[in-house]
Structure 1
């Protein structure tokens, strides 16, 4: 009889191979799993990566009925620790290259591109790129590779798919590529001067903001007066194809004004204006004293002490006036351009979305709701937020690094499917798993991290008889919080349970002890 915890609920870093596999009962001889052998395994995996991935995604889509009509795209820098000198140059094989990650840390990294489904944030496609690869030109060739994959193209509704991404995805060059491919897309545009002027002219022509019937997930249980409101104003825009001057495409620009950031931006601006005024008035009292004896020194102090890096400084006009006939000849005066303040306030909380291809057929509130789902790819990326400690082991070539990332993405795929299925089940039953969140804040959308934590106390006892038959007994340790308990810290007294069978029936018999196992369901093997 043997008992062990499920490996998935207690993941560990494969930093030291022997220690890593020694905890997995299915591995009979740890000595067989040395660095070189695992390295050769990664070499073999690399050659068949996309065939394996196609099989996995096809099976997942068909088995779990995953909807691929919405795909969210993004890139992420993956940081690696250790030295990797003399990397081989091979066409199509990504290379670790130094660069700055989003946190501003200069380190060796690879770029990961991923497409995840709107249905459950399931990874549908990924690719590893050189660490210094720029984001903007990445999206269209990767999607082209995705749609050309023989297995995936066979069953995915690519012509009906809408791609969603961030500002890198909606550059003019990328938009033209999506439009030529006939692919729908939604993403944000950077609000530039032309966009602001266009919005101003639309409002001046009599167009009005319209309240969109969209409620953010975080506001679902809030009273209406406390929930964020979204106003929309849309217009169609023509884009000419420079490669075919006679061809034009119609895209939809949707200006959104969100009440929460609007209030936050107004409050921040007012606070900065008050802080600048307070500091300028303090400096006014020092003029003609100490070293505040020249206009240059006074203006420099205003810039250093009052303006600093505050964005509200652009509303101020500061001047040092000289009065030769006075005992104190210098005077610091300032004005605030309140007309400019009011003009800028019109754009508080405003951002711009663009929808092209089949996405232009959506209503404004539908475009907003689709784009708000972009958090799904970021949610899945959070599983990869770590530095991979791989230098002391078997990653000696770029191929092996890419193969390891493939295995990591397979793990992300499995985790995403588990999370999706658990959420669908608890939502259908309207019964959250109790004890996952502190302060009884359990909901119907548990994360995979908390799901694994909830079941980390479960184990399996394998019962075998002399004839080779047996049972798998699933047990829960009362030393860990029960996911069924309303109190996350609640637990029952520890006890042993010995389980035996007779003609398929399970009989639980308690014995004294301290192992803290509670008998659960049985499954014939």
Structure 2
């Protein structure tokens, strides 16, 4: 076997240039250095280290250990101008220690910079779910003059309210979730004319509070609830009740008391207590027998309330009609997806000191901010439909997500030919070039020029 030593070195480039550009626009390194000035003789500032750690979370979110190995494999020196040996565990730990004393100031400063630099609309804030709806919370928000929209806990609205509604008379909302955007209008979510809801305080002398309520019907929720009920009934019947019915009078269920006890367990476990009807009798030999069925009237009553839920809001009809209230509430899904991103690809933690854990969580939050801004930038550059081809097999057009953007850009590589020759960026797929163009970056050099 003949071995050839080549002077050509390839490093992983991936999303590093993007992960460098967005923190630069946020002024991340400068903010950290202002809050946590280091020694003049240090090879790296704390800001440089934290900026690099954000890139590390976006490109290789493994437990935080041997970051220098990651920097050596990736084109960190070419993009950030930092030699991999300088990012040893001790240096990373000291940077985390430094920002641990200034986490609030750091996140506040970067958050404010992001709002201004990227022109983010912060007029609406999604912060709560149905747990917001309590007498104390609602009265506090009303007193403060804060408008809100919140889903009502299911137990708060009696099923009779939903059962009395006429779905055919409901107005079709000009809204559909992304997964159902091609669904015919007659099958989209609908809402009924709003009414009012009265909240009573925990004490009798507390004044009642009346707020606006929007009653919403979701065809998607209705189908999901029907499927779940059918599944519960099928499991209760086929897997358990049929077996009990065959075994009645046998070795294990030879008395009516044992059969009744087993029925109670099945009904509770499968949540069919309200609709299950049973009768335990004895045959000519004195053996107990079981007859059972599901009450169809009860099942029809349950189906009548499928898909309905309620929203409470202090917004007046002049501020937002019922359809607009629903659209605003649906924005909560974006926030929940961001929490999913936080718990998923950016989060591994492998530090033991509490201060460093808090600092690393802040670094992960900063990485998540960059992650969200990357997705936002690509979607805004795509225009109104926010779709592009090439992300999935089949070339169908879909909305790009942050995960998918990072996945495709992760294939970029940097080829270093020699000390005097400029490095070459290797692009293997057209979608990578398209994404770089949407991000406003030209693949001419790993350090893209400032805008």
Correspondence 1:43-192 to 2 at 5 A: 43-73=97-127, 165-192=128-155
| Structure with higher helix content | 2
Structure 1 position 399 matched with structure 2 position 399: no
CA distance in structure 2 between the aligned counterparts of 1:28 and 1:40, rounded to whole angstroms? 17
Q: Which of 339, 351, 354 is 2:309 aligned to?
A: 351
Q: 1:520 to 1:431 in 2, by over 3 A?
A: farther
- SS at the partner of 1:69? coil
Q: What stretches of structure 2 of length at least 5 have no aligned partner? A: 1-7, 20-57, 435-442
Q: Deviations over 1:401-429 (max 9, x none)?
A: 2222112111111221121111111125x
Q: 1:520 to 1:35 in 2, by over 3 A?
A: closer
Q: Which of 424, 430, 433 is 1:482 aligned to?
A: 430
RCO higher in 1 or 2 (8 Å CA, sep ≥ 6)?
A: 2
1:448 paired residue number: 402
CA distance in structure 1 between the aligned counterparts of 2:259 and 2:85, rounded to whole angstroms? 75
CA distance in structure 2 between the aligned counterparts of 1:377 and 1:331, rounded to whole angstroms? 54
1:189 positional shift: 1.8
TM-score, length-normalised on structure 2?
0.71
CA distance in structure 1 between the aligned counterparts of 2:81 and 2:419, rounded to whole angstroms? 21
Q: Deviations over 1:228-262 (max 9, x none)?
A: 33233421234467899797654222222222332
2:4 paired residue number: none
1:139 paired residue number: none
The count of residues paired between Structure 1 and Structure 2 equals: 385
2:68 paired residue number: 18
Q: Which of 390, 401, 411 is 1:435 aligned to?
A: 390
Q: Deviations over 1:96-153 (max 9, x none)?
A: xxxxxxxxxxxxxxxxxxxxxxxxxxxxxxxxxxxxxxxxxxxxxxxxxxxxxxxxxx
Q: Confirm or deny: 8 A CA contact 1:184 1:358 kept in the other structure.
A: no
Q: 1:405 to 1:330 in 2, by over 3 A?
A: closer
| Structure with higher strand content | 1
Q: Confirm or deny: 8 A CA contact 1:179 1:249 kept in the other structure.
A: no
TM-score, length-normalised on structure 1?
0.62
1:71 positional shift: 1.6
Q: Confirm or deny: 8 A CA contact 2:148 2:314 kept in the other structure.
A: yes
Q: Which of 213, 222, 227 is 1:262 aligned to?
A: 222
The CA RMSD measured in Å over matched residues stands at 4.1
Q: Deviations over 1:323-347 (max 9, x none)?
A: 6xx3345343335433322222221
Q: 1:284 to 1:424 in 2, by over 3 A?
A: closer
CA distance in structure 1 between the aligned counterparts of 2:329 and 2:110, rounded to whole angstroms? 27
CA distance in structure 1 between the aligned counterparts of 2:188 and 2:130, rounded to whole angstroms? 23
